[in-house]
A and B are shown apart, each in its own frame.
Chain A
């Protein structure tokens, strides 16, 4: 029981790091980015190439994955995404699905279609035994990293100048613009940072979630669930939603394996029907 809780938390934390960039994109620009998973995949493959082929240590591989994906995200944001922000949702969906298809096929072409594994160092394998519960060292690391990141994000958002600008822009873009906040720049930075986080999540999660070219399609729905269930107005909403989702998914697969992910989808639809704004959203944004 506690093991499930533990594994579920690790899984949920991972989902949060993967999805929080998406939640900001959606909340800030009202932009539906279905291609978010592609950035996570980019981070994962980047680490695979660095660690397995070039012999870079795993510790260094993770931050590098973050940097590379953030750069990639920033580049794409400036060149492609800016043109699509003001478009109707249908265009955004088409555009980002197109990107997903391209990334899937391109990865398949470059890296092959087989599942990739990252060689994690010896010291991270095996598990601790605490009060009779087996805790995988790697999962513990994930919880630690993601926990620190979440705290850092929360601090940045609530304490720094950039954070308050971002929150202002999310709350009301037009007024924020009127107050002299460069919403475009704030958004570009946030997009790059969110992509970087996704890349880091992809690198960390390759061990747990698996990594193959269909990654963006397979996990797209999970990211979207986190965002829609958690709401886009704060960071705690998606966080709680991803922990719930992680624990729920692991528990569901453990207790009722025949139903599989069915439970998750059912819960999502139920939540969306009852609270279209998200489970943890403030009562009304606009």
Chain B
């Protein structure tokens, strides 16, 4: 091993270390199973949204691909998992979940070649076009998908044949949280690997990355496929926990909301999507209880405001807060601050 390779390896190892704050985050997340049993329905949605946002962060925050079509993967896997459960093709939910993710990943792999070329606008149009096409297909083949009425009559078998889904969402929440955690671990492994490092190089400057022998297109295809897989898992989770799937899963609103989630939380570090999802979901819940019909207005208002104030400034607050928390945590635990592990990844 050369000196450079050793340096990179030790750098990555240092970054990949779990900070106390991260551990606290997940301890709290799992503690919420017992802490807020009445809130499990909204928490389930939050966990799904967090996973979905994580999938977008992988391509937007780490690879720099703007996408308005992430709903395509979400929706495809949602319908797939609904259909296999309805017709009893794959009865085990976990197996169906993985299969749905793989189907979405296949679509991601095929369509990834479309986003390699062109500017931001072209990418936007192509990703948007793909999700609109899928929406059109789902609408036309209503005999299979139920069209505008949605896919009905889906019954999800108990997980591992033991834990049945209940109407309070207890099983669903634990299920989603565990899946989210596993996916998060995978994503964490990916972004702290040399592969993840090369992605950030591509995001920073694709031309230079190619000059230092990073296969740019191959890397983009790979991360797009992985991201589609995660988005698909999120979509399948939604169908499985609600036993329902409608055309709404493929809508533009879903992709646009997702961008908002990620912007609230901050792009380019893995907790952005998670924190954004929690804030977004509870904000939406709160606004919708104030004005049930017009909450979209305030969502739009938020977006405009965030851009006018400046995303950097908002993530700057995040950073300051995070630094403070890390120092607090390390003081409480009597350790040296492990700043590098929690600092956001800037490309």
| Residues of A that sit less than 8 Å from B by CB | 26, 32, 80, 83-84, 87, 89-95, 97-106, 108-109, 217, 220-221, 224-225, 228, 258-262, 265-266, 268-269, 272-273, 276
CB contact between B140 and one of A80, A95, A108, A262 (< 8 Å): that residue: A262
B125 with A272: CB separation less than 8 A:
yes
With A97-B256, A258-B140 known to touch, is A269 a contact of B126 (CB < 8 Å)? yes
What CA separation (Å) do A94 and B299 show in the bound complex?
11
- Residues of A contacting B307 in the complex (Cβ-Cβ under 8 angstroms): 84, 87, 91-92, 94-95, 98
Most chain A beta-carbon contacts within 10 A, residue among B114, B125, B295: B125
What are the interface flags for B100-139 relative to A under an 8 Å C-beta threshold, 1 for contact and 0 otherwise?
0000000000000010011111101110111011001101
B294 with A272: CB separation less than 8 A:
no
What CA separation (Å) do A221 and B130 show in the bound complex?
12
Q: Is B308 an interface position by the 8 A CB rule?
A: yes
Smallest CB–CB gap between A164 and chain B, Å?
Answer: 26
B293 with A108: CB separation less than 8 A:
yes
B303 with A104: CB separation less than 8 A:
no
CB contact between A276 and one of B122, B128, B301 (< 8 Å): that residue: B122
A94 with B119: CB separation less than 8 A:
no
What CA separation (Å) do A97 and B307 show in the bound complex?
11
What CA separation (Å) do A99 and B297 show in the bound complex?
9
- Residues of A contacting B293 in the complex (Cβ-Cβ under 8 angstroms): 108-109
B301 with A228: CB separation less than 8 A:
no
- Residues of B contacting A80 in the complex (Cβ-Cβ under 8 angstroms): 304, 308
What CA separation (Å) do A271 and B259 show in the bound complex?
26
B308 with A83: CB separation less than 8 A:
yes
What CA separation (Å) do A14 and B152 show in the bound complex?
40
A276 with B117: CB separation less than 8 A:
yes
What CA separation (Å) do A108 and B128 show in the bound complex?
25
Q: Is B263 an interface position by the 8 A CB rule?
A: yes
B303 with A95: CB separation less than 8 A:
yes
With A94-B263, A97-B256, A101-B296 known to touch, is A262 a contact of B304 (CB < 8 Å)? no
Lowest 7 A-B CB distances belong to which pairs?
A: A98-B303, A101-B300, A105-B297, A102-B300, A276-B118, A89-B120, A98-B304
A93 with B136: CB separation less than 8 A:
no
A109 with B294: CB separation less than 8 A:
yes
What CA separation (Å) do A201 and B129 show in the bound complex?
24
Interface pairs (14), CB distance under 8 Å: A32-B124, A89-B120, A90-B259, A97-B303, A98-B302, A98-B304, A106-B297, A217-B253, A224-B128, A228-B125, A260-B136, A260-B140, A265-B129, A269-B129
